[in-house]
């Protein structure tokens, strides 16, 4: 009494279907590239809990937009965004049906000097909406570094970088499967400095 037992059993009814469409075009002004990627996936998972055969349906729709350019000979920037909509429904526990939205915004830039100096910086902002109370969150990550190419043939590089300057990194994962709604947060490495030499 009060115990549970679990065993493996083969169940019919599982499927997964996904597709994507990529399209890229060069832009004349400013001279750059625009890349679009549309992805759609749908899957059904089967489960058997207390002799109740049920299904979990997951649908994901995302649209990635990426813009990259070399505005000058020694400078380039890139921008991308990836809005994603997740829909989950259950055949038994309809009250657990739920949808949530996530989006990432990323920007990075690099500057190069003719004397061998390089400065780089990137910023990534990801947020979630539509989750249960207390789970909607935003994660801003800002990294930056400065490097110097060494030797006559520039075969060496000495770089000082700082990762997660804002000290806001979070390890968050969401799960929607087999009549389970899961949310986990893991301890991750936050702000740190690193000096590297590459030859």
66-88 pLDDT tens trace: 999 877 778 889 999 999 999 98
Contact 138, 163 (CB under 8 A): no
What sign has the CA pseudo-torsion 27, 29, 32, 34? negative
**pLDDT for residue 192 is more than 70:** yes
Q: What ranges make up the beta strands (E) of 151-189?
A: 156-163, 171-177, 180-186
> What is the pLDDT at residue 198?
95
> How many angstroms separate the first and last alpha carbons of the chain?
65
Q: What is the mean pLDDT of residues 45-60?
A: 87
Cis peptide leading into residue 30 (ω within 30°): yes
pLDDT in tens, 14-40: 999 999 999 999 998 888 999 999 999
> What is the pLDDT at residue 177?
65
What confidence tier does 179 reach under pLDDT thresholds 50, 70, 90? low
Q: What is the mean pLDDT of residues 38-46?
A: 94
> What is the pLDDT at residue 178?
63
Q: Residue 164: left (phi > 0), alpha (psi -120 to 50), or beta?
A: left
pLDDT in tens, 94-149: 777 888 899 999 999 999 888 889 999 999 999 988 887 777 888 999 999 999 99
């Amino acid at each position: 009494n009060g115990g549970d037992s679990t065993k493996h059993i083969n169940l019919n009814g599982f499927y997964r279907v996904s597709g994507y469409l990529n399209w890229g075009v060069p832009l004349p002004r400013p001279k750059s590239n625009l890349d679009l990627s549309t992805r759609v996936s749908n899957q059904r998972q089967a489960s058997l809990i207390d002799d109740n055969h049920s299904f979990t349906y997951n649908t994901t729709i995302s649209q990635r937009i990426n813009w990259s350019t070399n505005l000058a000979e020694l400078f380039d920037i890139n921008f991308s965004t990836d809005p994603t909509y997740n829909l989950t429904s259950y055949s038994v526990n309809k009250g657990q049906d739920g949808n949530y939205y996530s989006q990432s915004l990323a920007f990075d830039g690099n500057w190069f000097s003719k004397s061998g100096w390089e400065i780089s910086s990137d910023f990534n902002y990801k947020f979630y909406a539509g989750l249960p109370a207390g789970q909607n969150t935003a994660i801003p990550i800002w990294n930056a570094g400065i490097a110097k190419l060494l030797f006559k043939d520039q075969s060496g590089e000495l770089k000082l970088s700082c990762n997660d300057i804002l000290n806001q990194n979070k390890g968050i994962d969401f799960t929607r499967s087999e009549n389970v709604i899961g949310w986990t947060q893991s301890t991750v490495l936050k702000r740190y400095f690193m000096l590297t030499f590459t030859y």
